[in-house]
Each structure stands twice: as C-alpha cells, then as structure tokens.
Amino acid sequence: MKIAQIAPLHESVPPKTYGGTERVVHYLTETLVDKGHEVTLFASGDSTTRAELQAALPEAMRLAREPRNPGLWHLLQLEQVAKQAERFDILHFHTDYSHFPLWRRMHQPQLTTLHGRLDLPDLQAVYDEFQEMPVVSIANHQRKPLPQARWIGTDYNGIPSSLYDFNPEPGDHFAFLGRISPEKGAEAAIEIALRAEVPLKIAAKVDVVDRDYFEQRIRRHLSHPLIEFIGEIDEQGKNQLLGSSRGLLFPIDWPEPFGLVMIEAMACGTPVIAYRMGSVPEVMREGITGYIVTTPKQAVRAIKMIDQVDRRGCRDNFERRFSADRMAEGYLRLYRRLLAKVSMPASHERRRGFAPRTADAGWPLSGSGFLAPDVVESGGRGERV
C-alpha cells in the first residue's frame, strides 16, 4: 500500500526530546515500513525515518534557530501534499483540521487522527461544517465533545515493544514526566510526594507560555530534598527514569486525550497512579497497571500500596494493548475499510449527504443521513457503537 503520513511541523519526527503527536507518527511510520508498505512522511527536514521524507522546511519550529510562522509553513506543507496526492492509495493526516476545506474538493481517500483535546468551544463550528471528514480518535472518551464528527474508529497509541526495557527492581523514587503546565499536574505530583514523604524526580519541559507558572508555582518546591527537577529528557533518559521508578505520578487536571507517558511507564513495568480524567480509565487497568484516584489523599494511599502491583503484569498489559505493531494493524484495518467502502465527495455541493447516500457503499446510514461506521476499532478489538 502507498501511504502518506502528514505530521505537524512543530517537532521533528521523532522529537529530539518532548513531543507526543510526532513521536506517535514516527512509531506508526516505521512500523508500516517494517510491514512492507511504501510510506512517505511529510515532516520537518530534521526528521529521521526509513520512509521517503518530504520536508516542508529544514528544521522543526519549536527548537529552530530562528522563529517560524506556523500557519505559513503548514500551508506550504499542505500544498506540497496536495501536489503529490495522486501518488498515494491513502493519506493519513495528523495536523488537526487544516486540510478539511481542500480535501473536501479532492478524490484521494484520507483520514485524520485527532491527537489533541476536543472540548474547545470553537471546534463545534468546524465539525458542524465538515461532518463528512473521516476522523479517528485515540481514546473513546476523546470523542464526547464532538458527537457530530464522522468517527470511523478509535486506535489507541502504541510504542515499539523494544523501545523500553522491563525493570523488575526499581529504586525508591517516583517520577513525573511531561510538561510543566497547570493541567499536566506537576504541582499536584509534588504535593502528593511531599505528603507521602517519597522522593520525586521531575523530567519535564517548560514552554514559554508556562514560564510564569513554573516560576510562581513550581520553583519554590525544587529546593526540597525530596524533589529533583531534571528538565527535558530524550528516549534513553525516559527509559532510565521510568524503569528505575517505583511509580509514575499522573495527577492531571484536564481531559487527557490519551497520555503516552502512561504506556511508556507500563513498558518499563512501572505502575501508574493517575487521576480519573479523560482517557485514564481506558488506558489504565485498576490494580494491574496501577491505581486510579481522584484526590491527593487517595494518591498517598495508592503510593503505600504501589509495591502490590506486579511489574511483569504491567509490562504484559502494555505488550497486549499498546505496542506499535498493534497500533499499525489497527490503522491498516481502517485504511482498507476506507479504500473498500468510502467514496469521497468531489465538490462542496455534494458534501451535505456525501455520495453515495446508501448503505450499499459499506457504511450504514446514521440518523443524521451521513454514512457512519458500524464498528469502532478500539485498542485492537471491535466495539459496537
């Protein structure tokens, strides 16, 4: 199959340090190459891949030596993709909705994985207008704000099984990994660690927009002997930090679309203590991969029980549900279903009930008159919707 993967340009593929979407695109691209598919990756020029690389700009924007205009470069990337669209059997976008107006008028089959939060009010207008665009969620919970979108499947994120080493004998510390921002829960993780009197190592980036929050809410805790701030780390650093940790603290305060760090911890055999928000109840298995809590008091209690979680069971759960191979197989099923069953609209005039408006096309008609999937591919299993 000839497949185009279109990545955002904010980070390289894979990212040098922090980065979620681009990291998942990397794992998917390389796994599809391993499976013998002809893959082209549209990404920044400092990306590393065994696929064919088509670069819209020399280096990713966040760590670039000079400031870049995100809208401008993503527009140029979209034109680059459109010029070559007929080369591919299917095009897989990871760039939100920016391509919707153009692809409504094109014929090549495409789908879009939505990697971010979807509860932002302005998104309602976008998905009211572009209801025919096939989109994929990375957890079923992520869909809730946008029931009108044309969901064709859910495919949980995955990482290569060989990327992280299983460690059956961790140290005494806990870990917080990700980004310093109010919704990611670094401050809550510090509170929990101090209440439980356990060491906490924080490996996280601080974006410019979050610098004031870091200075006002986080920095004052970093002089405490139990709290260590490491900063951004790469894959090797994550492997070492997570593998040596007794547990990962994930006390988020937002509707987390997926939470890649949870499965990175599981891959090391490290259990997770997470707040019940967003995708957490889907990704976690209570008592098997850690504990789901709702308050700092419950999190402290979970820390005291963390050694009851079987680290081998954590790793086994990861291998069954969250490997890159499982993720790639899920997307290949969606690609084949689209190629076999979906006839894309060629013009704006046909979008309101895109042709053919019959169940003969392979998708049954939903109540709104749009073709809808009958089965969601959820983490490798089919679920009736």
pLDDT, one tens digit per residue, over 187-201 is: 999 999 999 999 999
Task: Report whether 374 contacts 364 (CB < 8 A).
Answer: yes
Burial 313-334 (b: 16+ CB within 10 A, else e): bbbbbbeebbbbebbbbbbbbb
Which residues, including other chains, have CB under 8 Å from residue 217's CB and lie 6 or more apart? 182, 187
- Percent of the chain, pLDDT > 70? 88
Over its C-alpha atoms, the chain yields an Rg (Å, rounded) of: 21
* 37 alpha-carbon distance from chain centroid: 22
The mean pLDDT of 283-311, rounded to a whole number, is: 97
Could you tell me which CATH number the domain at 2-160+325-384 has? 3.40.50.2000
Q: Does the pLDDT at position 351 exceed 70?
A: no
Mean pLDDT of 304-314: 97
Q: What is the mean pLDDT of the chain?
A: 89
pLDDT at residue 286, as a whole number: 96
- Same CATH fold assignment for domains 2-160+325-384 and 174-321: yes
What are the domain boundaries of the chain? Answer: 2-160+325-384, 174-321
Please give the CATH superfamily to which domain 174-321 belongs. Glycogen Phosphorylase B; (3.40.50.2000)
Q: What integer is the mean pLDDT of 269-282?
A: 98
- Could you read off the pLDDT of 146-183 as tens digits, one per residue? 999 999 999 999 999 999 999 999 999 999 999 999 99
pLDDT category of residue 364 using cuts at 50, 70 and 90: very low
- Determine the pLDDT at residue 342: 57
- The pLDDT of residue 344 is above 90: no
As a whole number of angstroms, the distance between CA 213 and CA 130 comes to 36
| Greatest Cα-to-Cα distance within the chain, rounded to the nearest angstrom | 66
Higher pLDDT: 325 or 19? It is 325
Cβ atoms of residues 197 and 174 within 8 Å: no
